[in-house]
């Protein structure tokens, strides 16, 4: 058994299931109510070739997750100006800071973008810096959780919402956010396809945006209700942190 398999028995267990357990179920799939397609798929999963490929994939997968976590911890220690062991020991002494550690490392495991990993490291490092406040710790924990739920499409849409909060060339600042027509234009420009509702729901769930309902006169009816999406204060700070990290990369 390889070192990776020894450290991660899930790799061996999953491979054994693919080569044995699914094969045993193939006959049931063929005879069951779903017909022969499921039986053929289950049968295709059996055999040493699939087991070997799955073992290799899971081995790489675990290594990448571990590497990302290690990288974030090193960034955090460097940012805080302490050794890694000191960072982890001190953070682990307080439940609130340990919660941030857990959230940050969970987010790091499946994060593929280097800049986002650095941002997570900065959040973790902030928890160890002297003079940190409870308010700052709350933000860092929320930042780690929000970043874990956002991909490039979420962030593109969030930046578009931020644009509506910034002065235009004539100095005008939108006070109502993005309405349905604005969002449709953004959907086309950003090539979001049919995911707009999903993206907005995630941004709203993690607190990066908020929805305002406005009643407008609509003769001959009394009024009509319209929804407008705006970036929240937390969303603005979220984007600001990402921009700060991007600036670090530009300067390096």
Q: pLDDT tens-digit profile of 113-161?
A: 999 999 999 999 888 775 667 888 899 999 999 999 999 999 999 999 9
**pLDDT value at residue 204:** 97
Distances (CA, A) of 76 to 29, 70, 122: 50, 10, 5
**Token pair of 187 as six digits:** 């959907």
The structural domains of the chain, ordered by start, are 67-148 (no CATH), 152-251 (1.10.10.10)
| Residue 23 clears pLDDT 60, i.e. is over it | no
Residues 93-103, mean pLDDT to the nearest whole number: 88
**Three-class DSSP category at 106:** helix
Task: Considering only CA atoms, give the Rg of the chain.
Answer: 24
pTM value? 0.74
Eight-state DSSP code of residue 105: H
CB of 43 closer than 8 Å to CB of 3:
no
**pLDDT value at residue 36:** 53
């Amino acid at each position: 058994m390889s070192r990776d398999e020894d450290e991660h028995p899930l790799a061996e267990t999953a491979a054994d299931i693919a080569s044995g357990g699914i094969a045993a179920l193939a006959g049931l799939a063929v005879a069951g109510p779903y017909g022969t397609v499921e039986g053929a798929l289950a049968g295709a999963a059996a055999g040493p070739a699939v087991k070997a490929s799955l073992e290799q994939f899971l081995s790489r997968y675990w290594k990448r997750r571990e590497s990302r976590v290690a990288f974030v911890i090193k960034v955090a220690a460097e940012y805080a100006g302490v050794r890694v062991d000191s960072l982890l020991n001190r953070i682990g002494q307080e439940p609130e800071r340990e919660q941030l550690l857990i959230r940050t490392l969970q987010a790091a495991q499946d994060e593929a973008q280097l800049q986002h990993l650095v941002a997570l490291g900065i959040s973790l490092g902030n928890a160890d810096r002297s003079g940190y406040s409870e308010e700052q710790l709350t933000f860092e924990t929320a930042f780690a959780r929000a970043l874990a739920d956002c991909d490039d499409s979420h962030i593109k849409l969030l930046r578009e919402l931020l644009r509506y909060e910034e002065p235009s060339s004539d100095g005008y600042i939108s006070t109502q956010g993005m309405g349905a027509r604005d969002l449709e234009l953004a959907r086309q420009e950003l090539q979001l396809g049919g995911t707009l509702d999903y993206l907005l729901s995630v941004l709203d769930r993690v607190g990066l945006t908020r929805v305002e309902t406005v009643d407008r006169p609509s003769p001959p009816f009394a009024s009509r209700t319209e929804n407008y999406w705006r970036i929240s204060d937390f969303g603005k700070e979220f984007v600001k942190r990402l921009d700060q990290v991007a600036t670090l990369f530009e300067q390096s």
